[in-house]
Structure 1
């Protein structure tokens, strides 16, 4: 991994850790919620859920008819408490790392999302918005949102 910027985001959902973990690892479910903007769609999602297997997502902005894809290789899979995978955007040359921890307490699951190896603080800021929207979409689409 190159870069020193690290992004941390946390969200809590009204769902079991198993359900939230599965939403991050099911191609069909990922296509429903993995978008960086609410008006976008997920054109494709591919998962080979094993250490060394690949994950890939392509988001599409229908207003601009543009696609934004990225993917990586799973480095850790501990169902239902942890996922880690490398990440490389199609238009970038810098490989980064995404780590997601799932902690269930009393039927609610807190997701701790970390994206490390970002190249600078501007990259951290832009990724915070996009990943924040992705995590918000997950809660809204699946009906797991807590609070307003």
Structure 2
């Protein structure tokens, strides 16, 4: 008999971006832009990616790790305020097993240095999945990648 469990945690990460708020927001909103930075393991094989950035729109990302295990991300956008806030819910699967469900908020504020990007994720790890801080590490890598992308890319279009 399978044991069912739910372990909750919250991640909060901030980055100061040397770029305008609109450019930072577009890095999340534009499918071509997001596809360039939305990976935390360059050696993994991309299988498919789609982004329909609107309230009620979805995002799908499937990759295979070096062992061939498929990691699937499936999101729905719940709230979008242009250049200010993105709220989405998503789940993660390893193979056929759902390992987590999350609610994430990305907020953008103009600062004297450029933009403060605040990422907050409320995550539930499911059915004994032991994360061992890999979600935090992967999210930190993703936010480092979006920061580098935003700070070098001046031609992001919407």
TM-score higher than 0.5: yes
User: In structure 1, what is the equivalent of residue 77 of structure 2?
Assistant: 74
Please, which of 141, 145, 148 is the counterpart of residue 137 of structure 1? 145
1:52 aligns to 2:56 (yes or no): yes
Q: Name the SS of the counterpart of 1:119 in structure 2.
A: strand
1:20 aligns to 2:20 (yes or no): no
- When structure 1 is superposed on structure 2, of 66-75 and 24-33 the one drifting more is 66-75
The Cα offsets for residues 62-114 of structure 1, whole Å up to 9 and x where unpaired, read as x5455422021111100111001101113315421111111111351111111
Contact 2:17 2:150 in 1 (8 A): no
Change (3 A) 1:107 1:17: same
* Gaps in structure 2 of 5+ consecutive residues: 1-5, 153-158
- Which entry has the higher C-alpha Rg, 1 or 2? 2
Aligned residues: 142
The Cα offsets for residues 33-80 of structure 1, whole Å up to 9 and x where unpaired, read as 11113544655432222211112223454x545542202111110011
**Any residues of structure 2 matched to 1:1-148 within 5 Å, and which?**
3-40=7-44, 43-61=47-65, 63-91=66-94, 92=98, 94-106=100-112, 108-119=114-125, 123=131, 125-144=133-152
Contact 1:9 1:113 in 2 (8 A): yes
Change (3 A) 1:59 1:34: farther
